[in-house]
Amino acid sequence: TILQVYDMLIAKELITVAESIMLEKAKDFAVNIVNLCKYIKETKKESVLTNQLIRSGTSVGANIREAFYAMEN
């Protein structure tokens, strides 16, 4: 999963400190989004909107990484 990728990159020091901070915040955000969506699915039985929220909420880290990569080149 994307959360495992964040942890691996940080552990192997393949990313900068600034990027690490941003990715850590993005990871925390993604975890919160996933937990919120689980709660909504269990209590409100909503899946269409929560599935989209999971996709968009967990893509933040990938967008950050892509931006840092573009700045390096």
Q: 50: closest CA among 62, 39, 66, 60?
A: 39
Task: Give residue 56's pLDDT.
Answer: 93
pLDDT in tens, the chain (73 residues): 566 666 666 665 655 666 778 888 888 999 999 999 999 999 998 889 999 999 999 898 888 878 777 766 6
Structural contact between residues 38 and 53, judged by C-beta atoms closer than 8 angstroms = no
* pTM beyond cutoff 0.75: no
Task: Give residue 16's pLDDT.
Answer: 64
